[in-house]
Amino acid sequence: MFKLNQLIGNKPTDSFLLPKGILILGDIESKISGRIDGNVSGNINVEAKLVIGEEATINGDISAAHLIVYGRVEGNIECKTKAVICNNAVIKGGIIATTLEIEEGAVIEGSMTKNRYNPLDEKPKIPGMEKMHQQRKVVSPAANSIPAIEVRKSISSEPPSTDGWF
């Protein structure tokens, strides 16, 4: 399997580019974002954003976190967040995405499924959030507070006094 990270590096700011005129025979796997303008005959797995350029042709399945397709894909697409199929794109295969945007003029020959990946199933553990779901204590009003009914009765055209609030 062709691993782009070995050639490019793992810095978060890195990205890869496969220019037009390049033909990859085999699978591509990457943890960084990238753009493909050439041809790929194999499956593509990108854990970040992937752009398929206008002149690109992909013969294989694509899995990406975020995907934008301008070119031609003959295979299934699985996108964890948003997939954008642009106006000149041609897709021959199924699409699974949480959010799917299809521009006018795009051609899709296959099925479309929404929400297979559900981020709510993977609840992040945020410190302090476990307290939010505990039963709340009922606090009785302070002795000097005014019930809401009395506040409504005391509405006047004069500005309210803030004496005694502090």
- Judged against a pLDDT cut of 60, whether residue 154 lies above it is answered with no
What per-residue confidence (pLDDT) applies to 53?
96
Domain contains 39: yes
Domain contains 126: no
Distance separating alpha carbons of residues 113 and 103, to the nearest angstrom:
17
Can you read off the two tokens belonging to residue 144? 């000097």
Domain contains 139: no
7 pLDDT band (50/70/90 cuts)?
A: very low
What per-residue confidence (pLDDT) applies to 113?
87
Distance separating alpha carbons of residues 78 and 62, to the nearest angstrom:
6
More confident of the two residues 79 and 119: 79
Distance separating alpha carbons of residues 141 and 41, to the nearest angstrom:
70
Give the distance, in angstroms, between the CA of residue 153 and the centroid of all CA atoms in the same chain: 51
Domain contains 153: no
Domain contains 104: yes
Distance separating alpha carbons of residues 78 and 22, to the nearest angstrom:
24
Q: Where are the beta strands (DSSP E) in the chain?
A: 2-3, 15-18, 23-25, 28-30, 33-36, 39-41, 44-52, 57-59, 62-69, 72-74, 77-85, 90-92, 95-102, 107-109, 112-114
List pLDDT tens digits, range 101-124.
999 999 999 999 876 444 445 544
Residue type, 54: E
Range of 23's domain?
2-121
- Judged against a pLDDT cut of 60, whether residue 72 lies above it is answered with yes
Domain contains 128: no
The domain tally of the chain equals 1
3 state SS of 27: coil
- What Cα–Cα distance (Å) separates residue 144 from each residue in 59, 147, 166? 74, 10, 12
